[in-house]
Chains A and B, each alone.
Chain A
Amino acid sequence: MAFDFPKNFRFADSHEYALFEGDLVRVGISAFAVDQLGDIVFVDLPDVGTVLTRGTSFGSVESVKAVEEMYAPISGEVVQRNDSVLSSPEDLQNDPHGEGWLLLISPAEPAHVEELMDAGSYADKIASN
């Protein structure tokens, strides 16, 4: 299956994405990760105000067959949470790069976003596995 990764997105090894929105960073998980998980039934996200540390778990996503931790692609404070994916996980399933976003973060170190993979490298990495 071919995936379309938007050019302005950046990706972590663990399949989370980050994307600038003004001074803030929008975080979600990639369409590839969603495809691997299968039918998503539950998403667990931190409260607004939680401080995340890059590389540590900030929540989990559960499908019928697996439950995976999600790791913060950057450090920062959660300023908004997409509550609609909590009540209808289908949003994440159907549109992971859009409606199915997860968190809006105020980054502690904005430069860290640049250290993530760009869309092309991420696509190559997936293809090579």
Chain B
Amino acid sequence: MLDERPIEASSIQPPQFFHRHIGPTAKDQAQMLAQLGHTDLEDFVQEVIPRDIFDRNPHLGSSIPEGCNESEALEELQAIADKNSPKRSLIGLGYHGTVMPSLIQRHVLENPYWYTAYTPYQAEISQGRLEALFNFQTLISELTGLPIANASLLDEATAAAEAMSLSFAVKRKGQQASRFLVDIDVLPQTLAVLRTRAEPLGIILDISIPSDFNFGDDVFGMFLQLPGKSGQLWDPSFCIAAAHEVNALATVAIDPLAQVLMAPVGELGVDIAIGSAQRFGVPMAFGGPHAAFFATRETFKRLVPGRLIGQSLDKEGQIAFRLALQTREQHIRRDKATSNICTAQVLLAVIASFYAIHHGAEGLELIARRVISLRVKFEDCLRELGYPLELITRFDSIEIYCNQAPKVHELASLAGINLRVLPLGSSVDKSKGFGVSFDEVSNDKELNILCQIVAESIGKKFNPLQNKTVKIEDTFSDVPLRKSRWLKQSVFNIHRSETDLLRYISRLSTKDFSLVHGMIPLGSCTMKLNSAAELAPISWQKFASLHPFAPLEQAEGYLHLFQDLESWLSELTGFAGVSLQPNAGSQGEFAGLLAIRKWHESRNQSYRNICLIPQSAHGTNPASSVMAGMKVISILCDKHGNVDLNDLEIKAREHASDLAALMVTYPSTHGVFEPKIREICELIHSFGGQVYLDGANFNAQVCLCKPGSYGVDVCHLNLHKTFCIPHGGGGPGIGPIAVASHLLPFLPGHPLVQCGGSNSIGAVSASPWGSAGILPISWMYLRMMGIKGLRKASSIALLSANYIASRLSPYYPVLFNGLEGLVAHECILDLRPIKRSSGIEVDDIAKRLMDFGFHAPTVSWPVTGTLMVEPTESESLQEINRFCEAMIAIRAEVDEIIQGESDSTNNPLRLAPHTLSVVTADEWDRPYSRQKAAFPVPALAQNKFWPAVSRIDNAYGDRNLVCTCSVFE
């Protein structure tokens, strides 16, 4: 076989990117094929994929350009970015200008040590980001005055919806109550998402001015926005008391910068505080990604959506962090979960935490005070000019309704400034008012320009403002201010110089195992290359600085990018259209199921509410179905791991009258291409249901088969798996949905920006195109790969997984095989026989892999007691072999236990992982050598990754939950 890497001098074109994306060389591929008894990659792939869905010629009629190298793609993307013409935005509404310190941009956002890590499932090699998230939780807890804060949610609007769901779950336990009181001053996008999430659960939103709230026994919760979208701040104590009077929970959406100076809402009695940490150093990026936060009282800690980092102890009694209360996760609660959130916004939460460490309490206060003083001076100017200024207490925002609003907007635009157009959603020439939100970037110069604009609009001359000092306390006579010192924890106080913070960031990052160190073969996670060229454009100002509600003329580059991606992803999935709005797979599932629900409704069959879900499905599937108002019926799997067709037919028939959908993962979570997928889709359609495909495993299908052409109606994709968006240590992600033409009218929309279908399900995310700011990553990937590269990538992903299955099956049985005994892009190794014969658990092997310099595969999912291995196309044969050899060496260690040569408890598996301090301690009382403990194979001498802590005690941490730093360290 010819090496495809062009090496001859005669090749004039620089090599295409895909050669660098794909790990195994042509020679390696030949060797891997030989291991499987094959000689030709194409023949091999045809054996893996069921014949009746195989796409022989994905080039045919393709709109995806031929692949290229990174400079060509970057040049093209630069031209697209240049079509964006971002102005300075003072629009506010949950998105504000902020300054990401260069240190954080360079050493966190643009640092693969941080962005290529996965969710910290293997805590012993994730202490860095776990500590950073612990700091984030501490920051949020200090800000809000509530003891329990989670490690981020997808955006402020979904955080509000999570608060609503939690309140609903609490009250439902007691009495029937379905009314949720919502402050009329709520952000429009938050209200839209609350609407979308309330309807399927039968929740009634009762929207009014808080002083008019109609509290009654049918109210389960109340939602306030402070400051409101109008900018108003007020003391919510009376409302909170009234909510508690009827046993309803009180939620407040806060602005973290305002909260720096205001009395923590927790002290005013609120039960839940939510908000967005965007203005703590994260660019607006046309809507995301940004970390939302969620804080609550101790009582509700077991109902907190998303992940919570907790402190525990390791085997040596050292403090160590890990994911706490993991049984809260939908993986285990399934259809009993109140939330479906999985991937969150870890990287952005980490950035916000470092921003707070960089500034400390004093620095944050300074920013808040500066913003207020600008707002006060602008109020003075407006008053002097005779503008009708309502007498309310404000933080950073002012709204004015006046006849000359169109003129104000026109002049602002000429000065390169976007103001909020009032009423929201109206055009500039029809506008009746304008709004201004000051932010960290604002200064006196900007203020002067604004003053000039408002003066000129009414034909007056503007006198530059006197330099007056503003006493903050005077402007907040009627709202409670923060009284005591806060953020006293040492981490927020000892890293004031850039040198110190650089070292702290670096020290944390070296504790984490990321793709920088070696393969992360997590099944169902697709930990492929996140190339530098794909990542570079997200820092470009033309992408990063745009406000999501800026006039669309300023976002032409983005619109071009969306159009490219929508058409490319539609083509790859075989569907008619795509919505880029969902912020993660979980949100895609919810959006797709709602589209199905709405389609049934449009055909007067709204009674269809049964969702069939195979037992093997990811926990988000049943959780999303329940959120979409459906009832889950579980479908059995047969002994090959496939959907049990018999059971499926029985249950579909039984529910012929009320079947809404089947949710199926393909290739299945068991890592095989079920041969009967076409039949399954036909069966569901014949009973009036729709087929939802969970596209988490789409990496096995790209350019090899298309869900839209084998009978699926809607699927989501995880751009953070298949399309190279890095996992960021647990987010960001993007979970677009692709739909067949009959579902197009229902695609998600937005209250302020024209997008989505004509009969939209509403908004599922706060911003119209979700996490637009990271879409350039997937664009670069697709543009550089082209059809040829993409098809090659999927083929190698299949080859690598099968190679591993074949090499390891003599040592560990491969649990499920598909056609011809082949797996798809991942394989499940069954460790249960080992447990029976040696007592060694799957966790012991996962931890022992750390000693060998590996991140474990997925542990005990979807089958307890197994490991699921997904190598992806990006890992070289050398790395794959290194992994196989580690697994084989571990198997030999297990045999030593079985044969009695090694102690059944005091052995390197049960006591893994081994830290540097343990193996270099003066004392060593174990029956195996230190060498065997830490350097079980010779190659480790050249390249050793040390776990930061020994095995962590999960039970201790869950029984004694600590999820914020103490002040005394």
Question: A residues touching B (Cβ–Cβ < 8 Å)?
Answer: 39-42, 62-67, 89-90
Q: Separation in Å of the A86 CB from the closest CB of chain B?
A: 12
15 other A-B residue contacts (CB within 8 Å) besides A62-B327, A64-B327, A90-B959 = A39-B954, A39-B955, A39-B958, A41-B325, A41-B955, A41-B958, A41-B959, A42-B958, A62-B302, A63-B327, A64-B954, A65-B332, A66-B332, A67-B332, A67-B333
Q: How extensive is the interface on chain B, given as a class?
A: 10 to 19
Residues in A whose Cβ lies below 8 Å from that of B958: 39, 41-42, 64
Say yes or no: B326 contacts A64, CB within 8 Å: yes
Complex-state Cα separation, A41 to B961, whole angstroms:
10
Complex-state Cα separation, A65 to B955, whole angstroms:
10
B284-327 to A contact mask, C-beta < 8 Å, 1/0: 00000000000000000010000000000000000000000111
Closest 3 CB pairs of A and B: A39-B955, A41-B958, A67-B327
> Which residue on chain B has the smallest CB distance to residue A88?
B959
Complex-state Cα separation, A65 to B959, whole angstroms:
13
Complex-state Cα separation, A65 to B121, whole angstroms:
13
> Which residue on chain B has the smallest CB distance to residue A69?
B336
Complex-state Cα separation, A41 to B953, whole angstroms:
12
Say yes or no: A42 contacts B955, CB within 8 Å: no
How would you classify the secondary structure of chain B's contact residues: helix, strand, loop or mixed? Answer: helix
Residues in A whose Cβ lies below 8 Å from that of B860: 65
Question: B residues touching A (Cβ–Cβ < 8 Å)?
Answer: 302, 325-327, 332-333, 860, 954-955, 958-959
Residues in A whose Cβ lies below 8 Å from that of B327: 62-67
Q: Separation in Å of the A124 CB from the closest CB of chain B?
A: 22
> Which residue on chain B has the smallest CB distance to residue A63?
B327
Residues in A whose Cβ lies below 8 Å from that of B326: 64-65
Q: Separation in Å of the B78 CB from the closest CB of chain A?
A: 49
Say yes or no: A64 contacts B333, CB within 8 Å: no
Q: Separation in Å of the A83 CB from the closest CB of chain B?
A: 16
Residues in A whose Cβ lies below 8 Å from that of B959: 41-42, 89-90
Residues in B whose Cβ lies below 8 Å from that of A67: 327, 332-333
Complex-state Cα separation, A62 to B325, whole angstroms:
9
Complex-state Cα separation, A42 to B310, whole angstroms:
15
Complex-state Cα separation, A89 to B302, whole angstroms:
15
Say yes or no: A64 contacts B332, CB within 8 Å: no
Q: Separation in Å of the A92 CB from the closest CB of chain B?
A: 12
Residues in B whose Cβ lies below 8 Å from that of A39: 954-955, 958
Complex-state Cα separation, A90 to B332, whole angstroms:
22
Residues in B whose Cβ lies below 8 Å from that of A90: 959
Residues in A whose Cβ lies below 8 Å from that of B332: 65-67
Complex-state Cα separation, A70 to B959, whole angstroms:
20
Complex-state Cα separation, A90 to B956, whole angstroms:
10
Residues in A whose Cβ lies below 8 Å from that of B325: 41
Q: Separation in Å of the B865 CB from the closest CB of chain A?
A: 11
> Which residue on chain A has the smallest CB distance to residue B860?
A65
Residues in B whose Cβ lies below 8 Å from that of A63: 327, 955
Q: Separation in Å of the A46 CB from the closest CB of chain B?
A: 10
Say yes or no: A64 contacts B302, CB within 8 Å: no
Residues in B whose Cβ lies below 8 Å from that of A42: 302, 958-959
Residues in A whose Cβ lies below 8 Å from that of B333: 67
Between A and B, 30 residue pairs with Cβ closer than 8 Å are A39-B954, A39-B955, A40-B955, A41-B325, A41-B955, A41-B958, A41-B959, A42-B302, A42-B958, A42-B959, A62-B302, A62-B327, A63-B327, A63-B955, A64-B326, A64-B327, A64-B954, A64-B955, A64-B958, A65-B326, A65-B327, A65-B332, A65-B860, A66-B327, A66-B332, A67-B327, A67-B332, A67-B333, A89-B959, A90-B959
Complex-state Cα separation, A86 to B107, whole angstroms:
45
Complex-state Cα separation, A41 to B958, whole angstroms:
6
Complex-state Cα separation, A89 to B325, whole angstroms:
14
Q: Separation in Å of the B840 CB from the closest CB of chain A?
A: 16
Complex-state Cα separation, A23 to B957, whole angstroms:
40
Complex-state Cα separation, A67 to B958, whole angstroms:
13
Q: Separation in Å of the B320 CB from the closest CB of chain A?
A: 15
Complex-state Cα separation, A117 to B694, whole angstroms:
43
Q: Separation in Å of the B824 CB from the closest CB of chain A?
A: 27
Complex-state Cα separation, A76 to B665, whole angstroms:
44
> Which residue on chain A has the smallest CB distance to residue B843?
A65
Residues in A whose Cβ lies below 8 Å from that of B955: 39-41, 63-64
Q: Which of B325, B327, B860 has the most CB of A within 10 A?
A: B327
> Which residue on chain A has the smallest CB distance to residue B333?
A67
Q: Separation in Å of the A129 CB from the closest CB of chain B?
A: 15
Complex-state Cα separation, A63 to B332, whole angstroms:
11
Complex-state Cα separation, A3 to B855, whole angstroms:
37
Residues in B whose Cβ lies below 8 Å from that of A65: 326-327, 332, 860
Q: Which of B325, B860, B955 has the most CB of A within 10 A?
A: B955
> Which residue on chain B has the smallest CB distance to residue A38?
B955
> Which residue on chain B has the smallest CB distance to residue A39?
B955
Q: Separation in Å of the A63 CB from the closest CB of chain B?
A: 7
Q: Separation in Å of the A113 CB from the closest CB of chain B?
A: 28
Complex-state Cα separation, A40 to B954, whole angstroms:
10
Complex-state Cα separation, A40 to B956, whole angstroms:
10
> Which residue on chain B has the smallest CB distance to residue A67?
B327
> Which residue on chain A has the smallest CB distance to residue B864?
A65
Complex-state Cα separation, A67 to B331, whole angstroms:
11
Complex-state Cα separation, A67 to B327, whole angstroms:
6
Residues in B whose Cβ lies below 8 Å from that of A40: 955
Residues in B whose Cβ lies below 8 Å from that of A89: 959
Q: Separation in Å of the B177 CB from the closest CB of chain A?
A: 19
Q: Which of A40, A42, A90 has the most CB of B within 10 A?
A: A42
Complex-state Cα separation, A62 to B959, whole angstroms:
10
> Which residue on chain A has the smallest CB distance to residue B301?
A42
Residues in B whose Cβ lies below 8 Å from that of A62: 302, 327
Q: Separation in Å of the B174 CB from the closest CB of chain A?
A: 11
> Which residue on chain A has the smallest CB distance to residue B958?
A41
Complex-state Cα separation, A118 to B26, whole angstroms:
66
Q: Separation in Å of the A118 CB from the closest CB of chain B?
A: 30
Complex-state Cα separation, A64 to B326, whole angstroms:
7
Complex-state Cα separation, A70 to B326, whole angstroms:
19
Q: Separation in Å of the A91 CB from the closest CB of chain B?
A: 12
Q: Separation in Å of the A70 CB from the closest CB of chain B?
A: 14
Residues in B whose Cβ lies below 8 Å from that of A64: 326-327, 954-955, 958
Complex-state Cα separation, A40 to B959, whole angstroms:
8
> Which residue on chain A has the smallest CB distance to residue B953?
A39
Complex-state Cα separation, A89 to B327, whole angstroms:
16
Q: Separation in Å of the A73 CB from the closest CB of chain B?
A: 21
Complex-state Cα separation, A63 to B955, whole angstroms:
8
Complex-state Cα separation, A19 to B959, whole angstroms:
29
Complex-state Cα separation, A93 to B955, whole angstroms:
12
Complex-state Cα separation, A67 to B333, whole angstroms:
7
Q: Separation in Å of the A51 CB from the closest CB of chain B?
A: 14
Q: Separation in Å of the B232 CB from the closest CB of chain A?
A: 40
Complex-state Cα separation, A32 to B958, whole angstroms:
22
Complex-state Cα separation, A67 to B325, whole angstroms:
10
Q: Separation in Å of the B281 CB from the closest CB of chain A?
A: 35
Complex-state Cα separation, A41 to B302, whole angstroms:
12
Complex-state Cα separation, A42 to B954, whole angstroms:
13
Complex-state Cα separation, A36 to B296, whole angstroms:
32
Complex-state Cα separation, A42 to B327, whole angstroms:
10
Complex-state Cα separation, A40 to B958, whole angstroms:
9
Q: Separation in Å of the B222 CB from the closest CB of chain A?
A: 25
Q: Separation in Å of the A90 CB from the closest CB of chain B?
A: 8
Q: Which of A41, A42, A90 has the most CB of B within 10 A?
A: A41
Residues in A whose Cβ lies below 8 Å from that of B302: 42, 62
Residues in A whose Cβ lies below 8 Å from that of B954: 39, 64
> Which residue on chain B has the smallest CB distance to residue A57?
B336
Q: Separation in Å of the B909 CB from the closest CB of chain A?
A: 18
Q: Separation in Å of the A66 CB from the closest CB of chain B?
A: 6
Q: Separation in Å of the A36 CB from the closest CB of chain B?
A: 11
